[in-house]
Amino acid sequence: MIAKHVPMKATSKSDFGGLVRYITSAQGRDERVGLVTVTNCNGHTPEDAAQDVMLVQSANQRAASDKTYHLIISFRPGENPSAEVMRDIEEAVCAALGFAEHQRVSAVHHDTDNTHIHLAINKIHPVRHTIHAPLRDYQTLAAVCERLEVKHGLEPDNHAARQRAGEARARDMEQIAGTESLIGWAQRNCAEPLKAAASWAELHQIAANFGLSVQARGNGLIFAAMDGTTVKASSIARELSKGALEKRLGAFQSAQGGEGAPKARQTYEKRPVPSRIDTSALFSAYREQQGTRATRRKVELAEAAAKRRAAIEQVKRIGRTKRAAIKLLGGGPVVKRLNYALAARSTKAAIAKIVAAHGRERERIASRNSRRGWNDWLQEQAKAGDQTALEALRAREGRRTAPNDALHIAAMPTAAHPAAIRQDHITKRGTIIYRTANAAVRDDGQRLHVSRGAQIEGVVAALRLAHERYGDRLAISGSDQFKALVVEAAARSAMPITFADPDLEARRQNIRQEERARDRQIIGRGDRGGAGVVGRNAVNGAGRDASATAPGRNGTFRPGAVSAGGTNAGTGLAAGGASIAAVGIGHAQPARNGHSSAGGAEAPSERAVKPNIGRVGREPPPESRGSLRDLSKLGLVQHAERGSLLLPRHVHSDVDDQKARPDRLVRRDDDRPRMSDDQARAADKYIAERNAKRHIGMDIPAHRLFTGDHGPLIYAGTRQIEGQKLILLRDGADMLVLPVDARSAARAGKLAIGEPIEIASNGTVKSKGRSR
């Protein structure tokens, strides 16, 4: 765990509200922002908290330094502490810095390989209005991080400062940009030969061989590259400082120039940091594209400037024409002076408008043609589907910590297939973050890591992705709870995968056998379409008779005897006089003329035995929920001695009247509000968005769709999502969302927010006794 203060270089640019917007903005990524916490503020949302903080900061007019403290707490790759642990870490770090009573907003980010927390802290005390700036905060942060790592069992980091400021900045640049710094290049290539030099002449000779020159600067020495980049000699190695060299070699001596100067065998240039693969072709394409962008930017800026000059010249020409017209029209001095002033004002306003438009155009050109860093360019190409760029990101040198709950490759796949799950983000280490139903799946090329909120739906999505990418044989690592969840997900989803661990594979097969046995029981039930009666006694019994009863389609019960051994077949009478007999797990078939018979040796037909049939008690499919109309779509058959009966759709070939006359009396009017697909989609999108923000800690009530089941309603406003009008209705602590047409939305908009409102069963708005 590392905690680092990010100082603001320009105090005038410090903005607490802007920092809060940055750390709480999703930036189009579902997995960027996690838990958001507001502490010691009157407001409960980040926006309200930012207003409170800026109000407190305005009360202190004497402080000239930055009033906002930006802190980042980062964890090792693969570490994802719980919300309680993160909260304890945040409180402990703030207390150690002296900010326990200060206002702050924190947000957990998951869009990189390292889970990290951003803290925006108000340095102004909310009561005393005095500023607090921690002294030597880096030492305090190192001490508290070491203590918290031991307390929460986190992997320890090196908190001792072993690098000078220049070295640390160079290393940060290499990690962020992905290109070599002069300090890093010199340390890897020529530091040892330079330290072994026995004289100043030899030192200058070795430096020249690497395209460097040693120069005196102030009280020390610098190394200058051929492109003009310079670094302090002591930043490369402490043995190369001026003091250390003069103790060993004597007083500093400048290089002796001449025609016989050696030609450099190796020179520094900004190239990618060392990698496990050859990235020369990619880097050439990168440099070519960056050069093209620079040229295109120059051309577009010149065209925009020419367009601005032409527009201004035209406005001035119009102004001169106006002045000439005023002169010809004549009039008194006061009238002329007034007309001249109006003409000048309109000219200035037009020119100001042109200049503002030109400024916006320059910003668009700069954004469109901005230079990208090497790592940023690789990310951009990888998101566009370039597999070579993705491999270059993953091949960067550096130790990786294997995550805990992960699906590994048991055997190297022969080919990689594109993933069907939507990609949320690609990190600078080449980790692809996928967003599933309720969990995030991370793919680093060797494993799939189920990182957050792993429920069975998310694990099923991860297994499907692993099967698509890596084949049908997987290895599982992680906690016992995670392994059990993976085994259950693999068995329930019936995917053609196996586990490398024999114990896990045996557990998966046992669950699959139980699932198949349960499905066979359900298929044999008489209430699933008259296919037969099979109960637990029929499955578990061996050589003994067992009887079972099943409800008939007309509400009565059909008694029947089932013989598990297959030798004794019992008979019984159904409500309509038909007899049903089953032998073993045979299925009774309805016979002609309303009778049915069964034979123990006859195998069930493909029509009677349906694979993957739903269990009793499960919810209907989405298209059938909340609707009674589907019931009347079943086939109808009429018998002379009885009324109409509803039959399952697969028995039409076994009855005399295959094309029965439809009975419209079965249908019932439905006066409930009906919504179009666009309205339902818009409502679902809005509800999902608001509930997602609620789950990350924002003070937002639970949103759900209006279904007619509610208490007293309060009008809470109108929203427009994807062109569809939605009415918000507060029902106690919940917020109901009702899609309406434009006219209904306009009528509801006449009500004041907070006013009681009545909604009829068909979705119309009632108020004050009148239908609106």
> Is the residue at 592 inside a domain?
yes
Q: Kindly state whether residues 332 and 360 are assigned to the same domain.
A: yes
* Domain that residue 559 falls in: 524-597
> Is the residue at 158 inside a domain?
no
Which carries the bigger pLDDT value, residue 430 or residue 307?
A: 307
| pLDDT, position 38 | 94
Q: Kindly state whether residues 96 and 22 are assigned to the same domain.
A: yes
Q: Which of 375, 12, 400 is nearest to 174 (CA)?
A: 375
Q: Kindly state whether residues 408 and 393 are assigned to the same domain.
A: no
Judge whether residue 29 has pLDDT over 80: no
Residues 431 and 453: their CA atoms lie apart, in Å, by 19
> Is the residue at 173 inside a domain?
no
pLDDT in tens, 614-628: 444 455 555 555 555
Sign for the CA dihedral angle at 678, 681, 684, 690 comes to negative
- State which of 468, 495, 516 marks the end of a domain: 516
Q: Kindly state whether residues 348 and 288 are assigned to the same domain.
A: yes
Q: Kindly state whether residues 76 and 19 are assigned to the same domain.
A: yes
Q: Kindly state whether residues 9 and 144 are assigned to the same domain.
A: yes
Q: pLDDT category, 534, cuts 50, 70, 90?
A: very low
Query: Is 373 in contact with 175 (CB distance < 8 Å)?
Result: no
| pLDDT, position 646 | 54
Amino acid residing at 39: T
Query: Is 212 in contact with 190 (CB distance < 8 Å)?
Result: yes
Which carries the bigger pLDDT value, residue 756 or residue 437?
A: 756
pLDDT in tens, 152-183: 999 888 887 666 665 666 677 777 777 888 88
Looking up residue 127, the CATH number of its domain turns out to be: 3.30.930.30
Q: pLDDT category, 610, cuts 50, 70, 90?
A: very low
| pLDDT, position 267 | 86
Residues 421 and 578: their CA atoms lie apart, in Å, by 53
pLDDT in tens, 688-714: 888 877 776 677 888 888 887 677 888
| pLDDT, position 540 | 38
Cα dihedral value 509, 510, 513, 517, nearest 10: -170
Residues 238 and 254: their CA atoms lie apart, in Å, by 20
Which carries the bigger pLDDT value, residue 670 or residue 136?
A: 136
Q: What proportion of the chain, given as a percentage, has pLDDT over 90?
A: 23
> Is the residue at 219 inside a domain?
no
Lowest mean pLDDT among 287-301, 306-320, 431-445, 516-530: 516-530
Amino acid residing at 135: L
- Alpha helices, DSSP H only, in 59-134? 83-97
Q: Kindly state whether residues 483 and 590 are assigned to the same domain.
A: no
Q: Kindly state whether residues 545 and 560 are assigned to the same domain.
A: yes
Q: Which residues pair with 433 in a beta bridge?
A: 425, 442
For residue 372, what is the DSSP state? -
Burial 655-673 (b: 16+ CB within 10 A, else e): beeeebeeeeeeeeeeeeb
| pLDDT, position 311 | 95
Q: Kindly state whether residues 646 and 546 are assigned to the same domain.
A: no
- State which of 484, 516, 548 marks the end of a domain: 516
Judge whether residue 499 has pLDDT over 80: yes
Q: Kindly state whether residues 30 and 128 are assigned to the same domain.
A: yes
Average pLDDT over residues 100-117: 91
**Tally of domains in the chain:** 6
Q: Which of 689, 694, 699, 690 is nearest to 43 (CA)?
A: 699
Query: Is 576 in contact with 645 (CB distance < 8 Å)?
Result: no
> Is the residue at 587 inside a domain?
yes
> Is the residue at 694 inside a domain?
yes
Q: Which residues pair with 719 in a beta bridge?
A: 726
Query: Is 539 in contact with 582 (CB distance < 8 Å)?
Result: no
Q: What proportion of the chain, given as a percentage, has pLDDT over 70?
A: 72
Judge whether residue 450 has pLDDT over 90: no
Q: Beta-carbon neighbour count of residue 108 at 10 Å?
A: 24
pTM (2 decimals)?
0.54
Q: Kindly state whether residues 378 and 506 are assigned to the same domain.
A: no
Which carries the bigger pLDDT value, residue 645 or residue 490?
A: 490
| pLDDT, position 123 | 95
pLDDT in tens, 566-591: 333 333 333 333 332 333 333 334 34
Tokens of 123: 């340095």
Contacts of 44 (CB under 8 A, 6+ apart): 38, 699
Q: Which range is most confident: 278-287, 302-311, 415-424, 538-547?
A: 302-311
Residues 742 and 740: their CA atoms lie apart, in Å, by 7
Average pLDDT over residues 370-392: 84
Tokens of 278: 């050859």
- State which of 516, 541, 561 marks the end of a domain: 516
Enumerate long-range contacts of 589-598, CB under 8 Å, 24 or more apart: 589/654, 590/530, 590/651, 590/654, 590/655, 591/654, 592/656, 593/656, 594/639, 596/530, 598/532, 598/569
> Is the residue at 200 inside a domain?
no
Q: Kindly state whether residues 436 and 499 are assigned to the same domain.
A: yes
> Is the residue at 92 inside a domain?
yes
